[in-house]
Amino acid sequence: MNLLRNSGLFVAAAALGAATFLASCSDEFLTPSVPSALTADALSSPAGIQGAIVGAYSQLSGRGSRFGSYNWVSGSIQGGDANKGTETGDFVAINEVVEYQLQTTSRLPSDKWNQNYNGAVAANAAINIALRSEDPTVTESFRNNMVGQGIFLRSHYFFELYKHFENFVYFDENTPALEYSTQPNMNMLDAVISDMARAVDLLPETQGALGMANRWAARTYHAKMLMFAGRYADALPILKDVMENGKTSGGADYQLLDNYSDVFNAEFDNNAESIFAIQAAANTGSVNNANYAFDLAHLQGTPIGGCCGFWQPSFDLVDSYRVDDDGLPFTDGSYRDPANRIASDLNVESADAFTVDGKPVDPRLDHGVGRRGIPYLDWGPHQGKAWIRDQAHGGPFSPKKFIYYSRQTGTLQDGSSWTSGYTAMNFNILRYADVLLLAAEAAAQTDDLDLAKDLVNMIRMRAANEDSWVKNDDGSNAANYQIGMYDSFDSKAEALEKVYFERKLELSNEGHRFFDLVRWDRAADFLPGYIDYEEQFLPLQFGNATFNANQDRFWPIPQTQIDLQQGVLTQNSGY
């Protein structure tokens, strides 16, 4: 639900027509257009500055692209939470990600590079408009807030570039715009971390619009960046402060929602668990304002969005939700053993009999995955193969977290475009469960094993709320749900193993997994086995997949950018 509308921000949006220069780049995405003096004067009012900031926020969604800052392909599919789904010939550019065969001329790296530099350029321009404004109605607190939001957003876009490319072009408000394209690409994570610390100092604790970043969002993001840099001892006290004192932009204390599925329901957008989210709105006259990334994830040939069957959860992910008699997961990888696999309807026609797996599973499975015989939100029981576009290619499971409910049709869903899968559901870039798990990881890394255990158990306690479990129409549990608590972590290695696995379960298909594997230095250990596991079920999709640890941890710098900035950019290793 888009709450950048509040407090006159859409009055300010009238200035956006004049502010299109903020992201109006040619193919040379680091060569922004330079505004005229008249345009700069028009933007220097409070409304104009806010409009420029809203323009920088708008780049979070990719503005018509299906990637933006969602990372459903680069984080989830590339990390093994899901496969491409659909069929081989649809959106073939994603096939290269599934197979770990990206090239320097591939579409997805180019899109990601361009989108994030559009955002960074827009944010930097907005910062400079705020800093240079001589409008007497621009107060110091207002200026600091706008500059803080601009630095927050610029840091986010650069962090996205770091996660995908490692080596990226960095600039700040002191870099002349015409010199962006002369800067070399290198690992500038430390500079981005420092910038986010500046945003913390500038931003207020609350905002007039829930969709805008506040001090606590910046503090959270700062800690997360420190975790990526391996600075666990620095991150932990910040994360503790966020847990003890953090508030949403509306002033509500951060906390886990009682019901896990409410995190993924547009009716509960901008809740106490949401720290920073891409805002979405339906029925505004343009589906670009909706959750544009996930229209393709809805179920092909059904009333549930109508198209297109992408982003199907993997066998590996589904089987990870198998639990033992104590309700604990098989973190040693034995969830892949034939005796522990969760029964599916692969190659079973919808008209043929199928029995839902009766062994114990973590209840979060059926909040994140659609599987045959289990209620699919309020659409009735999942019908199996009839609801899958091509089982032989994508498998038997459907995505569930970012699908709209039947009761939301026409209100929190937008049917005005070629497909009806556009929703008003926000996408959380940062949520409180992520904070708890990052803190658990930092605690384990600094040998506070009891704190790590307690934080993981907090996450699991929410999942143990029986009232939130998926139910059949008669009120009975839809499956054999069990979830237990950890009694102790007996070593640092065990604590990290449990924390890492809990992130997989809790944050599945939210765009984190691949980047977690890389920062833990576990991608080379996990992904080859994942490919082998999936290939036995889906040889059409995984038969050509090979993960090369010396190359595939990061994406290639787009060749078009190297050609445009001759002698400036350096290609990543292995490409």
CA–CA dist 66, 84 (Å, integer):
14
- 131-159 burial string, b = 16+ CB within 10 Å, else e? eebebeebeeebbebbbbbbbbbbbbbbb
CA–CA dist 573, 354 (Å, integer):
48
CA–CA dist 462, 507 (Å, integer):
14
Show Cβ contacts of residue 106 under 8 Å, excluding neighbours closer than 6 positions. 93, 96, 556
Tell me the sheet residues that pair with 277.
428
Q: 308 preceded by cis ω (within 30°)? A: yes
CA–CA dist 453, 236 (Å, integer):
15
pLDDT at 16: 37
Phi, psi of 83 (to 5 degrees): -105, 180
pLDDT at 4: 62
Q: Would you give per-residue pLDDT tens digits along the chain (575 residues)?
A: 665 633 333 223 323 333 333 333 333 445 544 444 446 667 899 999 999 999 999 999 987 677 889 999 999 999 999 999 999 999 999 999 999 999 999 999 999 999 999 999 999 999 999 999 999 999 999 999 999 999 999 999 999 999 999 999 999 999 999 999 999 999 999 999 999 999 999 999 999 999 999 999 999 999 999 999 999 999 999 999 999 999 999 999 999 999 999 999 999 999 999 999 999 999 999 998 999 889 999 999 999 999 999 999 999 999 999 999 999 999 999 999 999 999 999 999 999 999 999 999 999 999 999 999 999 999 999 999 999 999 999 999 999 999 999 999 999 999 999 999 999 999 999 999 999 999 999 999 999 999 999 999 999 999 999 999 999 999 999 999 999 999 999 999 999 999 999 999 999 999 999 999 999 999 999 999 999 999 999 999 999 999 999 999 999 999 999 999 999 999 999 99
Concatenated DSSP letters of 84-140: EES-TTSSGGGHHHHTT---TT-HHHHHHHHHHHHHHHHHHHHHHHHHH---TT--H
